[in-house]
Chains A and B, each alone.
Chain A
Amino acid sequence: MTALGALAELKDQFETEAVGIGDRAGWEALRLTWAGRKQGKLKSLMERMKDIPPPERPAYGQAVNDLKVHVEARLEEIDAALSAAEVAAKRSAAAIDVTLPGRRPALGSLHPVTLVAREIEQIFAELGYSVAEGPEVEDDYHNFEALNFPDNHPAREMQDTFFVAVGGQPRLLRTHTSPVQVRTMLSRQPPIRVICPGRVFRNDNDLRHSPMFHQVEGLAIAEGLSLADMKGTLDAFLKRLFSPETKIRLRPSFFPFTEPSAEVDVTCQNCRGGGCAVCSGTGWMEILGCGMVDPRVLRNCGIDPARYSGYAFGLGLDRVAMNRYGIPNIRTLFDNDERLLRQVRV
């Protein structure tokens, strides 16, 4: 066999050995056998050059070199394939079960009443109103007298009052947030646009009543404010609070501090006005009380009723929160069961 013929056979032999390589050790053995610097077959082929007759040497040298390039390229190729397989094996071992539950940040929650109060504050902030606050222990003047509740008048019996003993001074737990309106009017001149959210208290405790609950009241006083302005404001507010399709209706009523006074109904949010058990078939839900501020109240608060007029309104936050979140009983609101509180969303 010629030297060149032998080289062609060697190439076939290398290919046969290379095909079976499946791991790093096999690759290393193949490299040492063929491309090893000391005893590699390529090295010994080069050393044999001196035994080749001179005229054949260039062809022999070219053929050995071709074999060397081929062997090195194949070794590199196999190395790359092995590395890729190793990375793939590592990745496969490290694969995660993406269906396992994630670890959530420990978020808390705001109380349903707070969320409703904030929403209402936001709506009125956009209408230019600010928030006013005041004490929860009040005196008779700010809670009743300034608001045109005459002494001993049956209108006072509408609100069961908690009284507080402070030395000889009679004090009470505010029965509404209206005293904040009084304090605002006493401390400022019109134009005034405020809302007064807060806790209020009535001596009443049964399935439908809680001795403590929450109100937000609003007050606007300026020159030339009209009943139409009150209607427009409440309509805008209630459409935002409920839905753009919500309709309102005013029924004249009586409160000592407004004249005229009205109860405001909105389209029942359960049946959208069609009539259901929630609204006793009327299609309406009573939502707030309102009216034009009684001139006696303005006068009591140092505001000239001949120059200024305005309106006031108030609603219970607890009822709105119960309606919104489907909480059937007001006292459930104050159980503070975290299983319920943590479900509440804006």
Chain B
Amino acid sequence: MKFSARWIAEYVDVPGLDGTLQGAAEVAARLTAAGLAEEGIEQVGNDAILEIDVTTNRPDAMNHYGIARELSALYDLPLRPIPGASAVSGAPASEAIRLEIEDFEDCPSYSAWVIRGVKVGPSPPWLADRLKSIGARTINNVVDVTNYVLWETGQPLHAFDLGKIRGGLVRVRRARAGESLQTLDKELRELSPENLLITDAEGPIAIGGVMGGFDSEVTENTVDILLECAHFRAPVVRRSAKKLGMHTDASHRYERGADPGACAVAGERAAALIAELAGGQLAPGKVELQRLLPGWPPQVEIRYSALCRFGGADIPSAEGERILRALGFGVEIDGDSWRVEAPSWRYYDFQNAYPADVYEEVLRIWGFDRIPYTLPAVGGADAPMSAGHRLRRLTQDYLSASGLSEAITYAFHDRERDEAYPTLRPGKAALALANPLSDRYAVLRRSLLPNLVEAGRYNQRRGAPVVRLFELGHIFWAEQHDQNAETETVALLVGGRLGTPWERSAELDFFDLKGILEGLFEAIGVTPTFRRATVPLLVPGMAAEIVLDGQVIGFAGQLDEKEPGYAFQVAEIGLGLLPVVTGSLLVKAPSAYPGIEVDTTLQHALSVPWRAIEATIREAAVPDLARFALKDRYRGAGVPEGAVNTTISFLYNSETTSLTMEEVNERHQALAARLASEFGFSTGNSTGALG
């Protein structure tokens, strides 16, 4: 919002308001420090124009007089009053017009002045220049005066051509269904009961607080003026303007809360200026109806000592009182108890006020920069890290230490991919955005994979020989009974050739991905199982569900997408589906005796899953078998079609004695024989060696 330095200077003698940039900059710095942020200053003619960001809670400062008032408080300088009415003549205003208000809740006060015999024409240069300097249009001397007074006092005004008002009547009422009005901008507006209207005896002539009607506007032929100066309640104008999709200088102020007490001063100022500049005669008196607003006047009791405690600063009470009075507040002091009454221009801000509303006024003028720096006297820590937060950190740390880079993608994607990709919540509907940016971002994701795969492709298309990414985020879905739900998941994507031959390169496959997942699960403290499954968009036969306690907590497999380049191995795990693990942290002391390692190679049908072999070894519960692991798999020369050689290494280690080779063979041969008979394959060369 733009303000003229010289215009403000008409009301307060602040030294910097001399039209210079340097002077304006000093004033602007003080205003910024009080909450009216300067956003630029420019020289226009002999004036300095300040751009100030007035926050929505301060409609009282969206005008020159309001800024002058702030400065009078900041600089402790007197504020001059706004000039009043000039001489009157002719028949009283009440003979020209009769006023009716249907509901004072909508319009607590309405005043109108009559100026007869005006000559509508261009504004004098001083007025036109001033309006132009703050970016306002000039139209004619009468309309320009109403705008001028708006920018000066914050009070919206409207000038009607009195000759166009039918039946000598002005009514304020809600629109009825089916009514319409052509507004000043020549648009035909369909009206509804949300719209507050000004009507004459026959129909609408203006939308109250928003815009006047085209038919009653002031033109070159206008002779007599009816000048409206009213207070429309903020919520009423807000709904009315929103319904019509309109935003005007008037509605901007009414919506945020205009000054209910400004009508008389602003109206008289405008009437006098019109009479002076357009050569008319101001009729005696005004037409006026008004009722007290609810909660008038806004009052709040404070304890001054509480204000100082709240600010953490010792502000002398005389200074606190001075600040409040300079801003227009009434103050009644009884020791530490102060009864503070807000001025009319802060009516909306101080409805049902709390002491903090008053504290703010004193503190911002006193200056935040004068408040000391202290640390709160609250001892101890607040709360331990939540299980979910701990799990997320552990997952991020483990995966980044495993060579993956953390990605962050949008939480929404397109409906087509949402439906094509696997999700941990199959059968639940996606949540659609009512106002998406585009079809690409139409629904909230039920899986992190679509966007993560897109990130993988982004890297692949730029020539990355290997892609390793993970992401943590929420997935979302609709529950029954109009409920929504979300949970945190982690998605992984690896693919390509990792490293050069010098670095002993490896083509990343399913088992690289699975190894990362297994390590993650071990770090978390859970031991889920992988089982072959049909998963959408994963290559059949290369896809698995990950199951913990009978519940599917994730899936993994090779992505089946018809894109050129290496394949992606992907997985998604529901972190929010995992139990909180509070297992023992105790470690087991390693055996003090040497162990013996034995390798056994088994030739068995390809259809035998490792899981079954593993289960049999476990079930056999061979004494002193400390651990066993897959050593290698071989299918090639010497291995019949449909079979595979699986080499397993076994470590025998007693905690109480050094085992001999004979003792180990005794234990191991029974196990090897059992594996052979159970899976129906011939034992290969069972060899033993000292480990």
Within 8 A of B (CB), among A1-58: none
Is the CB–CB distance between B368 and A251 below 8 Å?
yes
Set of chain A residues within 8 Å of B468, measured between Cβ atoms: 106, 108, 338
- Knowing A152-B242, A235-B373, A253-B55, the reply to whether A131 touches B433 (Cβ < 8 A) is no
Distance in angstroms between the alpha carbons of A194 and B356 in the assembled complex: 23
Q: Nearest chain B CB to A120's CB is how many angstroms away?
A: 14
- Knowing A252-B368, A334-B408, the reply to whether A152 touches B433 (Cβ < 8 A) is no
| 8 Å CB contact of A113 from B360, B408, B476, B486 | B408
Stretch of B434-442, B608-616, B623-631 lying at the A interface:
B434-442
- Knowing A113-B408, A233-B376, A295-B356, the reply to whether A249 touches B56 (Cβ < 8 A) is no
Is the CB–CB distance between A336 and B356 below 8 Å?
no
Q: Is A62 in the interface zone, CB < 8 Å from B?
A: no
Is the CB–CB distance between B441 and A227 below 8 Å?
no
Residue on A nearest B478 in the bound complex, by CB? A166
- Knowing A154-B256, A335-B458, the reply to whether A296 touches B411 (Cβ < 8 A) is no
- Knowing A103-B503, A166-B478, A226-B311, the reply to whether A154 touches B255 (Cβ < 8 A) is yes
Q: Is B552 in the interface zone, CB < 8 Å from A?
A: no
Q: Nearest chain B CB to A331's CB is how many angstroms away?
A: 10
Is the CB–CB distance between B312 and A228 below 8 Å?
yes
- Knowing A136-B486, A336-B407, the reply to whether A252 touches B389 (Cβ < 8 A) is no
Q: Which of A131, A132, A225, A338 has the most CB of B within 10 A?
A: A338
Is the CB–CB distance between B409 and A334 below 8 Å?
yes
Is the CB–CB distance between A252 and B33 below 8 Å?
yes
Distance in angstroms between the alpha carbons of A294 and B402 in the assembled complex: 46
Is the CB–CB distance between B371 and A222 below 8 Å?
no
| 8 Å CB contact of B435 from A162, A233, A253, A336 | A162
Chain A 225-245 near chain B by CB (<8 Å), digits 1 or 0 = 111110111011000000000
Q: Is A305 in the interface zone, CB < 8 Å from B?
A: yes
- Knowing A165-B432, A229-B375, the reply to whether A260 touches B360 (Cβ < 8 A) is yes
| 8 Å CB contact of B309 from A106, A226, A334, A337 | A226
Is the CB–CB distance between A164 and B431 below 8 Å?
yes
Set of chain B residues within 8 Å of A337, measured between Cβ atoms: 458-459, 462
| 8 Å CB contact of A111 from B357, B408, B476 | B408
Set of chain A residues within 8 Å of B401, measured between Cβ atoms: 107-108
Q: Which of A100, A127, A131, A295 has the most CB of B within 10 A?
A: A131
Is the CB–CB distance between A338 and B459 below 8 Å?
yes
User: How many A-B contacts at CB < 8 Å in the complex?
Assistant: 261
Stretch of A76-84, A199-207, A267-275 lying at the B interface:
A199-207
Q: Is B333 in the interface zone, CB < 8 Å from A?
A: no
Is the CB–CB distance between B459 and A259 below 8 Å?
no
Residue on A nearest B364 in the bound complex, by CB? A252
Is the CB–CB distance between B375 and A295 below 8 Å?
no
Q: Is A288 in the interface zone, CB < 8 Å from B?
A: no
Is the CB–CB distance between B382 and A108 below 8 Å?
no
Q: Is B363 in the interface zone, CB < 8 Å from A?
A: yes
Distance in angstroms between the alpha carbons of A338 and B407 in the assembled complex: 9
Is the CB–CB distance between A131 and B385 below 8 Å?
yes
- Knowing A136-B486, A252-B33, the reply to whether A228 touches B373 (Cβ < 8 A) is yes
Within 8 A of A (CB), among B332-384: 354-357, 359-360, 363-364, 368-369, 371-384
Set of chain B residues within 8 Å of A225, measured between Cβ atoms: 376, 378
Q: Is B484 in the interface zone, CB < 8 Å from A?
A: yes
Q: Is B126 in the interface zone, CB < 8 Å from A?
A: no
Q: Which of A220, A231, A260 has the most CB of B within 10 A?
A: A260
- Report the interface size for chain A: residues with CB under 8 A from the other chain: 87
- Report the interface size for chain B: residues with CB under 8 A from the other chain: 96
Distance in angstroms between the alpha carbons of A127 and B183 in the assembled complex: 59
Chain A 79-92 near chain B by CB (<8 Å), digits 1 or 0 = 00000000000000
Q: Which of A164, A165, A199, A253 has the most CB of B within 10 A?
A: A164
Within 8 A of B (CB), among A323-346: 333-339, 341-342
Distance in angstroms between the alpha carbons of A232 and B313 in the assembled complex: 13
Is the CB–CB distance between B482 and A254 below 8 Å?
no
Chain A 252-265 near chain B by CB (<8 Å), digits 1 or 0 = 11100001101100
Within 8 A of A (CB), among B404-447: 404-412, 431-437, 441, 444
Distance in angstroms between the alpha carbons of A338 and B404 in the assembled complex: 9
User: For the complex, would chain A's binding face be called helix, strand, loop or mixed by DSSP majority?
Assistant: mixed
Q: Is B578 in the interface zone, CB < 8 Å from A?
A: no
Is the CB–CB distance between B37 and A130 below 8 Å?
no
Set of chain B residues within 8 Å of A339, measured between Cβ atoms: 459, 462, 464
Distance in angstroms between the alpha carbons of A110 and B474 in the assembled complex: 18
Is the CB–CB distance between B486 and A137 below 8 Å?
yes
- Knowing A108-B399, A341-B406, the reply to whether A336 touches B458 (Cβ < 8 A) is yes
Set of chain B residues within 8 Å of A100, measured between Cβ atoms: 502
Set of chain B residues within 8 Å of A103, measured between Cβ atoms: 499, 502-504
Q: Is B101 in the interface zone, CB < 8 Å from A?
A: no
Residue on B nearest A131 in the bound complex, by CB? B389
Residue on B nearest A210 in the bound complex, by CB? B410
Q: Nearest chain B CB to A318's CB is how many angstroms away?
A: 9
Q: Is B239 in the interface zone, CB < 8 Å from A?
A: yes
Q: Is B210 in the interface zone, CB < 8 Å from A?
A: no
Is the CB–CB distance between A227 and B368 below 8 Å?
yes
Distance in angstroms between the alpha carbons of A111 and B371 in the assembled complex: 38
Q: Is A177 in the interface zone, CB < 8 Å from B?
A: no
Distance in angstroms between the alpha carbons of A339 and B402 in the assembled complex: 17
Is the CB–CB distance between A251 and B408 below 8 Å?
no
Distance in angstroms between the alpha carbons of A345 and B256 in the assembled complex: 47
Set of chain B residues within 8 Å of A127, measured between Cβ atoms: 375
Distance in angstroms between the alpha carbons of A165 and B436 in the assembled complex: 11
Q: Nearest chain A CB to B451's CB is how many angstroms away?
A: 9
16 other contacts beyond A164-B431, A193-B378, with CB at 8 A cut-off? Answer: A111-B408, A118-B393, A136-B474, A136-B476, A155-B56, A166-B431, A166-B483, A168-B482, A173-B411, A227-B371, A228-B311, A251-B35, A254-B58, A260-B364, A338-B459, A342-B405
Question: Can you report 7 residue pairs joining A to B where beta carbons are below 8 Å apart?
Answer: A103-B502, A111-B406, A130-B382, A163-B435, A166-B484, A260-B360, A336-B405
- Please list the residues of chain A having a beta carbon within 8 angstroms of any beta carbon in chain B: 100-101, 103, 105-111, 113-114, 118, 125, 127-133, 135-137, 152-155, 158, 162-169, 171, 173, 191-194, 199, 201, 203, 205, 211-212, 220, 222, 224-229, 231-233, 235-236, 249-254, 259-260, 262-263, 292, 294-296, 305, 309, 333-339, 341-342
Which 4 pairs show the lowest CB-CB distances between chains A and B? A228-B312, A252-B35, A167-B482, A226-B312
